[in-house]
Chains A and B, each alone.
Chain A
Amino acid sequence: MLIILQLILFIVVAPFLSGLISKVKNNIRMRKGQSVLQPYYNLAKLFSKREVVSETASWIFKVTPFVVLAAMLVSAALIPVFMLRSPLNHAGDFLALIFIFSLGRFFLVLSALDTGSSFGGMGGSREMFISSLLEPALCMAVFAVSLQFGSTDILAFSGMHAISVSSVVAALTLFLVAIAETSRIPVDNQETHLELTMIHEAMVLEYSGRSLALIELSSYIKQMILFFLIAQIIFPIGLPVCPEGGQVYTSFMQIFLWVLWYLARIIIIAITVALVEISVAKMRLFRAADFLGLAFVLGVVASVCAILGV
């Protein structure tokens, strides 16, 4: 039951984060900006719109939105949000999460190639380029967190660890990974449709209507998963339903504060992402390799710190 609640939480809250980031960015630029709820309006609009499918497209194009959504929802179900261990947690560990992300991406790129548009090919090629160089960095971040915990179990994120140098560096690595994975500046730019720079937007260019809504929703969920993981590493906090040594809350006030802080952490991460986005310039595509190289080096540092026990 809690699993379903967890999925609903991710589906409901995820678009808000994107709206928030965009609002913060606009406000800092002295603009009014769109409403925080704009992503919801967009989704609602897309759901009611008719779809246009390319005549070149095959069944790959049609199943991709569902595969991508399923992959993101499975990831969202795996991570411990409310409870320590549910039957579904057994399905995969932290390493499996990397591969599940990769499943969604695989189909997204195939669907981009499917329509025969050069935008799709361009976006797909760049996406694979970025993500394959991202993989070692992500793996190192996983290792760093897991080495502290002693196993790659997803429970490393149950928030019962003490903050160490290693976890800070690992969080930083994950932060860089998250920026690249959620197609944000300096790697990609969500706000533009300029063919020279776009990656994610070029990939999903041929999608419209409900299919596009599902894909957008999946990217929001992915973003929230990554933010959640970062938050759990750097601001560890116990889980509410946690029989084995989590915090015990007695009063209503405590629970209220807990919930507040639980959500506030993710918002802090989102605001940080917004601040990073407005303070750096978009990199050339091939400079992104350096960015990902930095993420990898940080990941190695985090792992070495974890090995040294600091």
Chain B
Amino acid sequence: MSNFLPKQFLQFDPLSLFFLFVIFIVSLPSAIYSFSYLKGEYSPVKIRLSWFLLTIFVFSMALVVSVNNALVFLVFWEIMSLVSYFLVVFDTDHEKSIQAGMIYIVMTHIGTAFLIAALMLMYKHANSFGFSAIKSACQVMPGKTKNIIFLLLLAGFGTKAGIVPLHIWLPYAHPQAPSHISSIMSGVMIKTAIYGIIRFVIYILGVQTYWWGILLLILAGITCLVGIIYALMVRDIKRLLAYSSVENMGIILLGIGLAMLFQSMNMPYLAVFSLIAGLYHLVNHAIFKGLLFLGAGSVYKACGTRDMEKLGGLIKNMPQTAACFLIGAMAISALPPLNGFVSEWLTLQAFFLGAVNATGGVKVFLVICAAVLALTSGLAAACFVKAFGITFLALPRSRYAKEAREVPLTMRAGMFFLSLLVIIFGLACVKIIKILSQVAGSVTGFDISSMHFSLNNFVLSPQVGKNIYSSTPLLGLMLLVLGLAGFVVYRLFGKNKAVIYKTWDCGYYKIGPRNEYTATAFSKPFRIAFSFFLLPYRKTQKIRESFYHVKSFAYETHTTPVFKRYIYEPLLELVFKVAKSMRRIQLGSIHLYLGYIFITIVLLIVFIQKF
């Protein structure tokens, strides 16, 4: 029995500590934020319930990343999934929440089923659930079993991470939860899946096969593109953020997949470097996505809607929220000198170094992957220009947006904290990379002392001997100095007497919110360019007063949810069909059921004896 329930099941190696850091650094501001966010929105009893659930949620995540036993891991994994389900359906009066919760709980359990299968297979070989025991058993495991375990783990963790096409739950569940929970779910919870992949695949299983990394890279590339293209299309701001989480998980997985590829090719230096890139993007995404979700929550709190087409002009009434959201949007669009730039630069650099040092066709493959990443980052910039521009700039498009007021201090405090982190993680990149190299070194088991990732404390130079530099502090300083220089020149020509006047309206009377570009209009070129994938369609309807007089037109434009339509709906139909045919053996007679049980037991005994 001691195999099952160890006395000591906690361990804090660098990887666990890193993830604990990520969990708490996002959970803390989100918790502070929730003080005022929950007030007035829910009844006092429910607020207490939410605190209770939040505590369990954070602790279950913390334990998931710090146990050293697969069985205990599964237990906490399950607690984490269940508690987050309750948090998703927290707004019980919304029908959408129930539906979102349903999709979430089904998908997450399918994922857990794969995980259980994988861990059972591991147990079968190791005769223990302890990580160290499994690790040593994996050294002598046959390659075929390893491949099966890898695929099971990939499916299991991939569901949680939102790898396309298993991402289907993410855009439903994340927007539906209260905003501070969305921030934790998107910022941290899905990262536990990355922890799982690093811990079980890289650390325990050990990558020896070449195609694992390639497979993960292909999936990650698809995930990036699909995530960001959908994010561009939606008009619900929290849904946009959820889709963008799918995209960013793709970017993180690009780093992880690259690390796996290099590990199998026996290039320790590059493996460590790519892992650093992946981990860096992971912590960055946790920070800025947490920030953006809190910002979106503030907008929701102030305006009562998440539909971007009804927002606008909020920068005037909510200047501080707008500034925080802008910082988050800039970071996620990888603009220097913020943190998103550092990690995307590192990932691109990892691809480049791979393309220089790898052999054969892999080089071309890596170059194409880098192009995918570049396209993703371009689209992400477009997406977040849209998110910020439509929500916060120009004229308010509805009464709610016009009457919005700045949110209370505790909510802003959470956002300020995360904005500050965005800037710190951008400027102090060299220090952070040093810490991350410790983590990456301990995971891969390579000696990192001989690898120099930095030239000095300000400049980043990933390749020894070669001069590749990037220094965010220096870039930031230069931007500031030259921007100020521009301002000085601007002022040298005398004081600027700008006239405040109406926006150019082509000589018509008045330009109003209805003339503004909307989110849907902004993304129209993308909808047309990616129409082969999005399959957009429109519905027009004439509303007639009489046969001769058309009073108004109703016009809707939609995109076809490809994955739902062509994968999940047929699958669901199949499940229902099978279930229906199963009803034939369900006759209601207790004798028959006893007979079924007997047959099952006999079959099980035969199975155990045989295998």
Quick one: which of B356, B378, B487, B499 contacts A52, CB cutoff 8 A?
B499
State which residues 479-507 of B face A: CB under 8 Å.
479-480, 482-487, 490, 493, 496-505
Closest CB in chain A relative to B549 CB, distance in Å: 29
Known contacts A67-B483, A151-B468; A143/B378 CB under 8 A: no
Pair B352/A152 contact, Cβ less than 8 Å: yes
Pair B529/A143 contact, Cβ less than 8 Å: no
Quick one: which of B374, B487, B497, B523 contacts A50, CB cutoff 8 A?
B497
State which residues 68-106 of A face B: CB under 8 Å.
69-71, 73-74, 77, 88-93, 95-96, 98-100, 102-103, 105-106
Known contacts A114-B393, A116-B503, A128-B385; A153/B469 CB under 8 A: yes
Kindly report which residue of chain B lies nearest to residue A62, judged by CB atoms.
B498
Kindly report which residue of chain A lies nearest to residue B228, judged by CB atoms.
A132
Pair A91/B475 contact, Cβ less than 8 Å: yes
Pair B336/A58 contact, Cβ less than 8 Å: no
List A contacts of B390 (CB < 8 A).
113
List A contacts of B467 (CB < 8 A).
151, 153, 155
Pair A66/B490 contact, Cβ less than 8 Å: yes
In the complex, per-residue mask of B367-397: 1 if CB is within 8 Å of any chain A CB, else 0: 1101111110111011001101110011100
Pair A103/B497 contact, Cβ less than 8 Å: no
Closest CB in chain A relative to B522 CB, distance in Å: 4
Pair A95/B474 contact, Cβ less than 8 Å: no
A296 and B310 alpha carbons, distance in the complex (Å):
37
Pair A135/B393 contact, Cβ less than 8 Å: no
Would you call the interface of chain B mostly helix, strand, loop, or mixed? helix
Pair B395/A56 contact, Cβ less than 8 Å: yes
Pair A74/B478 contact, Cβ less than 8 Å: yes
List B contacts of A300 (CB < 8 A).
367-368, 371
State which residues 228-283 of A face B: CB under 8 Å.
none
List B contacts of A92 (CB < 8 A).
336, 469-471, 474-475
Quick one: which of A100, A110, A133, A138 contacts B389, CB cutoff 8 A?
A110
Instruction: Tell whether B526 is near chain A: CB-to-CB under 8 Å.
Output: yes
Stretch at the interface among B57-65, B192-200, B327-335, B598-606: B327-335
Number of interface residues of A (CB under 8 A): 85
Closest CB in chain B relative to A271 CB, distance in Å: 30
List B contacts of A153 (CB < 8 A).
466-469
A210 and B344 alpha carbons, distance in the complex (Å):
35
Would you call the interface of chain A mostly helix, strand, loop, or mixed? helix
Kindly report which residue of chain A lies nearest to residue B491, judged by CB atoms.
A210
List B contacts of A71 (CB < 8 A).
479
A133 and B469 alpha carbons, distance in the complex (Å):
26
List A contacts of B385 (CB < 8 A).
106, 109-110, 113, 124, 128
Pair A106/B468 contact, Cβ less than 8 Å: no
Known contacts A66-B486, A136-B374; A93/B498 CB under 8 A: no
Pair A307/B503 contact, Cβ less than 8 Å: no
A92 and B342 alpha carbons, distance in the complex (Å):
11
Q: Which of B459, B493, B521, B525 has the most CB of A within 10 A?
A: B525
A125 and B523 alpha carbons, distance in the complex (Å):
7
List A contacts of B334 (CB < 8 A).
99, 102
Pair B470/A110 contact, Cβ less than 8 Å: no
Pair B487/A124 contact, Cβ less than 8 Å: no
Quick one: which of A47, A90, A95 contacts B348, CB cutoff 8 A?
A95
Q: Which of B313, B393, B484, B504 has the most CB of A within 10 A?
A: B393
Instruction: Tell whether A65 is near chain B: CB-to-CB under 8 Å.
Output: yes
Instruction: Tell whether B269 is near chain A: CB-to-CB under 8 Å.
Output: no
List B contacts of A134 (CB < 8 A).
378
Quick one: which of A53, A56, A89 contacts B499, CB cutoff 8 A?
A53
Closest CB in chain B relative to A5 CB, distance in Å: 15
List B contacts of A136 (CB < 8 A).
371-372, 374-375, 378
Pair A51/B499 contact, Cβ less than 8 Å: yes
List A contacts of B493 (CB < 8 A).
47-48, 210
Instruction: Tell whether A131 is near chain B: CB-to-CB under 8 Å.
Output: yes
Number of A-B pairs whose CB atoms are under 8 Å? 270
Pair B375/A96 contact, Cβ less than 8 Å: no
Instruction: Tell whether A286 is near chain B: CB-to-CB under 8 Å.
Output: yes
Number of interface residues of B (CB under 8 A): 87
Instruction: Tell whether B517 is near chain A: CB-to-CB under 8 Å.
Output: yes
Instruction: Tell whether B452 is near chain A: CB-to-CB under 8 Å.
Output: no
Known contacts A50-B497, A307-B363; A129/B503 CB under 8 A: no
Stretch at the interface among B111-119, B274-282, B407-415, B508-516: B508-516
Instruction: Tell whether B164 is near chain A: CB-to-CB under 8 Å.
Output: no
Pair A98/B501 contact, Cβ less than 8 Å: no
Pair B521/A125 contact, Cβ less than 8 Å: yes
Instruction: Tell whether A140 is near chain B: CB-to-CB under 8 Å.
Output: yes
State which residues 106-129 of A face B: CB under 8 Å.
106, 109-110, 113-122, 124-126, 128-129
Closest CB in chain A relative to B279 CB, distance in Å: 19
State which residues 15-74 of A face B: CB under 8 Å.
47-48, 50-56, 58-60, 65-67, 69-71, 73-74
Pair A96/B478 contact, Cβ less than 8 Å: no
A91 and B352 alpha carbons, distance in the complex (Å):
19
Closest CB in chain B relative to A99 CB, distance in Å: 5
A55 and B505 alpha carbons, distance in the complex (Å):
13
Instruction: Tell whether A214 is near chain B: CB-to-CB under 8 Å.
Output: yes
Pair A129/B525 contact, Cβ less than 8 Å: yes
Pair A214/B478 contact, Cβ less than 8 Å: no
Known contacts A96-B345, A125-B517; A133/B470 CB under 8 A: no
In the complex, per-residue mask of A133-173: 1 if CB is within 8 Å of any chain B CB, else 0: 11110111001001100111101000000000000000000
Kindly report which residue of chain B lies nearest to residue A195, judged by CB atoms.
B506
List A contacts of B529 (CB < 8 A).
129, 133, 286, 289
Kindly report which residue of chain A lies nearest to residue B334, judged by CB atoms.
A99
In the complex, per-residue mask of A205-242: 1 if CB is within 8 Å of any chain B CB, else 0: 11001110010000000000000000000000000000
List A contacts of B373 (CB < 8 A).
139
Pair A135/B394 contact, Cβ less than 8 Å: no
Instruction: Tell whether B364 is near chain A: CB-to-CB under 8 Å.
Output: yes
Kindly report which residue of chain A lies nearest to residue B500, judged by CB atoms.
A55
9 contacts between A and B (CB under 8 A): A55-B503, A58-B393, A90-B455, A91-B475, A99-B336, A100-B475, A106-B335, A113-B389, A139-B374
Q: A92-B469, A214-B486, A307-B364 are in contact. List 13 more A-B contacts (CB 8 A).
A: A53-B499, A90-B455, A90-B459, A99-B335, A99-B344, A106-B333, A117-B515, A128-B522, A129-B529, A140-B374, A147-B352, A147-B355, A296-B371
Across the A-B interface, give the 8 residue pairs with the lowest CB-CB distance, nearest first.
Answer: A121-B517, A132-B378, A135-B378, A139-B374, A116-B394, A113-B389, A70-B483, A128-B382
